């Protein structure tokens, strides 16, 4: 399972460093602060980067969003991965999901994606064909979490989707508003 935590960025806390270490890390810190500020202004600051991979499918989450990639799947098989969005704030936030992908032609276009949000189906259809528009996912309670399950399947009658070909990939941006 992959986890993402919503957070407000506070003051960075640095360990005790020598002046030469501070000078060496200064550029890195400035770049990191600019990136953190950009992500904070985008509406959903994310922390950490994790990958859940295996069975020809990976789900990675980080500050730029979540990427789902499928490299192989046998006909009649399915694979699932989950991502949990955590809200550490003392107020609830409204969550939205935006997919950025084009319908895949892998396995003859037969790859099917099902997205569930807290056990409620929010999309089921061709992989990459969910509208590339902002979709409201409801409220994440204060200090609560929401779980999304991504399941990719291939019908029995479809040609197998084998490793070595072009991966089917979709990216998802998480947006929150108070």
Strands 135-140, 93-100: parallel, antiparallel or unpaired by DSSP?
antiparallel
- Please report the pLDDT score of residue 113 as a whole number: 95
Give residue-wise pLDDT tens across range 98-128. 999 988 888 888 999 999 998 899 999 999 9
Read off the pLDDT band of 154 (50, 70, 90): very high
Kindly give, in sequence order, each residue whose CB lies less than 8 Å from that of residue 27, ignoring residues fewer than 6 positions away.
none
More confident residue, 50 or 68: 68
Q: Which element (helix H / strand E) includes 66?
A: strand 65-70
For range 11-30, the mean pLDDT: 40
- Please report the pLDDT score of residue 112 as a whole number: 94
Q: Judge if pTM exceeds 0.85.
A: no
For range 70-84, the mean pLDDT: 91
DSSP label at 174?
Answer: E
Phi, psi of 88 (to 5 degrees): -85, -5
For range 4-22, the mean pLDDT: 44
């Amino acid at each position: 399972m992959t986890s993402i935590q919503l957070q407000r960025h506070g003051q960075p806390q640095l360990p005790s460093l020598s002046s030469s270490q501070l000078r060496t890390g200064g550029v890195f810190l400035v770049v990191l602060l600019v990136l953190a500020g950009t992500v904070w202004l985008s509406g959903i600051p994310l922390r950490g980067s994790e990958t859940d991979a295996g069975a020809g499918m990976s789900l990675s989450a980080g500050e730029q969003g979540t990427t789902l990639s499928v490299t192989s799947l046998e006909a009649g098989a399915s694979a699932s991965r989950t991502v949990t969005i955590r809200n550490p704030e003392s107020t609830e936030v409204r969550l939205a999901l935006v997919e950025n992908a084009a319908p895949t032609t892998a396995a003859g276009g037969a790859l099917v994606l099902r997205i569930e949000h807290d056990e409620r189906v929010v999309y089921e259809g061709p992989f990459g064909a969910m509208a590339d528009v902002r979709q409201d996912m409801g409220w994440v309670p204060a200090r609560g979490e929401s779980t999304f399950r991504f399941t990719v399947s291939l019908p029995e009658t479809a040609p197998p989707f084998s490793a070595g070909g072009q991966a089917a990939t979709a990216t998802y941006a998480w947006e929150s508003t108070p």
